[in-house]
Amino acid sequence: MKKYLFNSFSEIKNKTRNKHILLCLDYDGTLVPICKDPSLAKLSPETRKLLIDLSQNPCISIGIISGRSLSEVKDLIGIEGIIYAGNHGFEISYKEHCWVHPEAERTKPLLKNVVKKLKVQLNTIDGILIEDKGLTLSVHYRNVAGRPAKDIKKIIQNIIGPYHETLRITSGKKVYEVRPNINWDKGKAVIKMKHLLNLREEILKIYIGDDRTDEDAFKVLREDDISIVVGYKKYSKARYFCRSSKEVILFLRCLKSFS
């Protein structure tokens, strides 16, 4: 059973004692609240300052892992010296190094073609938002009224049907995503980030996320790591939960005080 984060502080504090921490954070719904328009989900100056302070602690390495494109999430956070993973970990950047999954790179021309077809068929639906993120694409329907989500999914399925061996559909909060049909996810991205940072095996991993895509990361954490889901979700494999992105920020303040 998941434990409420703020009823478990002595336990968490003990886990972090004398450990190097790899702190992995999702962006939307975790560091910032979900917005109807993703472009409005801006990091507050206070949260950015908190992340800078944490990143300057020699015992903490910070990774941001988001479904947004790598360039976008780096612009939104704007902190040097931390590691970023965009497109659910298909692309990872640390300092001057940038790693892109080679199989995902090969699907980019096909995704461009799919984006064009989606725009033709979906742009007549009021409130639809199509994001071309290079290695993946997102179809947001949060602002769509009077059109069932399953209808939108059916249109996407029909377009990518001929490419089912190369592309697949996943779903998130009021969004469908088309991504390369590759055995890769946020969990594997966390392990890749650890290797790129050259961290030892015995580090403590903390992962905080709010979406189904974060479940893959929760699954790769060890029993003594710390997994936190934002919002209580029965299906989640996280060991702890908090209620909102505001509580995430409160937890990060606490982590700064006792790490």
Query: How many Å apart are CA 142 and CA 84, to the nearest integer?
Result: 26
**Residues 6+ positions from 108 with CB-CB distance below 8 Å:** 134, 135
Where do runs of H (alpha helix) occur along 63-148? 70-77, 102-106, 108-122
Three-state DSSP state, 100: strand
The number of beta carbons lying within 10 Å of the beta carbon of residue 37 is 10
Angle at 185 between CA 179 and CA 189, to 5 degrees: 125
Structure tokens, 114: 């799919």
Q: Which of 26, 28, 210, 216 is catalytic?
A: 26
Kindly state the helix (H) or strand (E) to which residue 217 belongs, with its residue range: helix 215-220
Please, are residues 20 and 206 in contact by the beta-carbon 8 Å criterion?
no
* H/E element, 137: strand 137-140
Give the residue carrying structure tokens 């966390």: 190
CA–CA distance, 188 with 25 (Å, rounded to integer): 15
Active site includes 26? yes
Taken in order 210, 211, 215, 217, the sign of the CA dihedral is: negative
**Active-site residues: which are they?**
26
